[in-house]
Amino acid sequence: MAKFSYVALDSRGKEITGVLESESTTAAVSRIREMGYFPTNVAEADKASTKKSAKTAAPAAPAGGKAGGKKGLGSIDLKFLSTGRVKSKVLTAFTRQLATLIDAGLPLLRGLDVLRKGEKNPTLKRALQQLAESVEGGSTFSEALAQHPKIFNKLYVNMVRAGEAGGVMDVTLSRLADFQEKAQKIKGKVISAMVYPTAVIFVALSIVTFLMIVVIPKFQEIFTDLLEGKSLPGLTLFVLYCSNLVKNQFLLVAGCIAAIWVAIKMIGKTVKGRFYLDKLKLNAPVFGQLIRKVSIARFTRTLGTLVASGVPILQALNIVRETSGNAVIAKAVSQIHDSVKEGERIVQPLEASGVFPAMVVSMVDVGEETGALPDMLMKVADVYDDEVDNAVGAITSLLEPIMIVILAIIVGVIVLAMFLPLINVITQLSG
């Protein structure tokens, strides 16, 4: 028996290395899978060490020259600039195309090769090449996908694994593409709702900054000449103080704002901090209800898609918890998972969490009673998608007058503060 060195991933995606004895590479791959790992690289120990030594002994290319006589200045490797991620729109298109090819009867390897040749995204193109090599080497498609966690998340991998087990890969990929398209649509609506207030806030801050740095100092010079040391109204003094602070201590003000932003980010990285920040988001005025509806739509659609694809309920809840995007929802899903693990129904912990509205609880209850839980979850998701549409329209129409009024008040206060001393001077002169 020969010795084989291997690199594999465990169930959590952690890389594991080791050496084992086996008759062939195929047998070694089978043994590694039996151990519960996903092999990513298997080679004979002697060959692997020889290859490593050859790499170490290879002479470095001279500066400005060609490396190995193949790469010149025109073929610089820019792989380090890549983030290793793929945009959701690109991934959705790939999933839909692969589902269509498999449904048409094309073998998986052939489908991956066809998509790789036509793919323009370099990161996904490299991943497709590696996927094809892994599948050709004996790995299942889901195992190959698990080797690229930055591109294919756990939801994607587990749905493909369920499709492999049930022999319905084309159906599963179509459901996955539908899910991605819906999620992308919801995300686009939320972003569109945020564009207008963000633009108005930017314009308002630009106007106020211009007034503070350029206009108000001119008024201060006029007040010094006209009033000759007389006291100014309190509102005027406050605005002048703010103007001097912004003009003379601009870096300090910018540094304080940046420090607050960094502090919020750091708090969000802690477990408790993220939980309280997400709770604050759900209860925020105006946008809180929108965020809550988006979170519920995501939860129900993800869980419904997983269960409909054949993923076991406990495993599906784990995936939903990790992909929820909100710590409050994730905690509620974790409680549901623990209760279901103890033999309870989903509806009881769902209601006890206090996060989900009564309509969601009732629909899930009916779904469990009738054995149509996936269908009910998808209907709830559709209902909340429509509510998100309505909420986005309402928020957009409501924010427009609110932002205009706020901007008018800020500018009005500044103008009033500047003209109060002038009114006093005119009054004295007329008297």
Q: Distance between CA 309 and CA 91 in Å, rounded?
A: 19
Residue 352 has pLDDT above 50, yes or no: yes
| Per-residue pLDDT at 59 | 41
Residue 54 has pLDDT above 50, yes or no: no
By CB atoms closer than 10 A (0-12, 13-18, 19+), residue 324 is buried
| Per-residue pLDDT at 259 | 93
| Per-residue pLDDT at 72 | 40
38 sits in the region (left: phi over 0; alpha: psi -120 to 50; else beta) called beta
Return the amino acid letter for 394: A
Residue 388 in contact with residue 185, Cβ under 8 Å?
no
Mean pLDDT of 291-304: 86
CB half-sphere exposure, 257, CA atoms < 13 A: 7
- Global pTM reads 0.63
Q: Distance between CA 78 and CA 429 in Å, rounded?
A: 73
Distance (Å) of CA 293 to CA 67, 106, 296, 299, 377 = 55, 40, 5, 10, 14
| Tens-digit pLDDT profile for residues 72-114 | 433 344 444 445 678 888 888 888 898 888 888 888 888 888 8
Residue 1 has pLDDT above 80, yes or no: no
Average pLDDT taken over every residue of the chain:
79
| 3 state SS of 335 | helix
Q: Distance between CA 159 and CA 166 in Å, rounded?
A: 11
Burial 205-236 (b: 16+ CB within 10 A, else e): eeebeebbeeebeebbeebeeeeeeeebeeeb
| Per-residue pLDDT at 191 | 80
Interhelix angle 313-322/327-341, rounded to 10 degrees, is 160
Return the amino acid letter for 309: S
| Tens-digit pLDDT profile for residues 17-27 | 888 888 777 77
User: Mind giving me the DSSP string for 29-61?
Assistant: HHHHHHTT-EEEEEEEHHHHHHHHHHHHHSPPP
| Distant-in-sequence, close-in-space partners of 132: CB < 8 Å, separation ≥ 6 | 109, 112, 113, 116
Among 4-18, 115-129, 170-184, which stretch is predicted with the lowest mean pLDDT?
A: 4-18
Q: Which two tokens stand for residue 8?
A: 């594999």
Q: Which residue has the higher pLDDT, 259 or 36?
A: 259
| Per-residue pLDDT at 14 | 66
Write down the residue that tokens 């601009």 correspond to.
Answer: 250
Of 189, 205, 180, residue with least CA distance to 287 = 189
Interhelix angle 154-166/287-308, rounded to 10 degrees, is 30
| 3 state SS of 73 | helix
Residue 182 in contact with residue 385, Cβ under 8 Å?
yes
Neighbour tally for 310: CB within 10 Å: 19
Q: Which residue has the higher pLDDT, 197 or 10?
A: 197
Among 28-32, 63-67, 323-327, 347-351, which stretch is predicted with the lowest mean pLDDT?
A: 63-67
Mean pLDDT of 235-258: 86
| Tens-digit pLDDT profile for residues 125-169 | 898 999 888 888 888 888 888 888 888 888 888 888 878 877 778
Q: What angle do CA 296, 300, 305 make, to 5 degrees?
A: 150
| Tens-digit pLDDT profile for residues 374-411 | 888 888 888 888 888 888 778 777 777 888 888 888 88
| Tens-digit pLDDT profile for residues 194-213 | 787 788 888 888 888 888 88
Which strands make up the sheet holding 38-44, listed edge to edge?
A: 15-22, 2-9, 38-44
Which helix or strand (DSSP H or E) is residue 374 part of? helix 373-430
Return the amino acid letter for 227: L
Helix extents (H) in 309-372: 313-322, 327-341, 347-352, 358-370
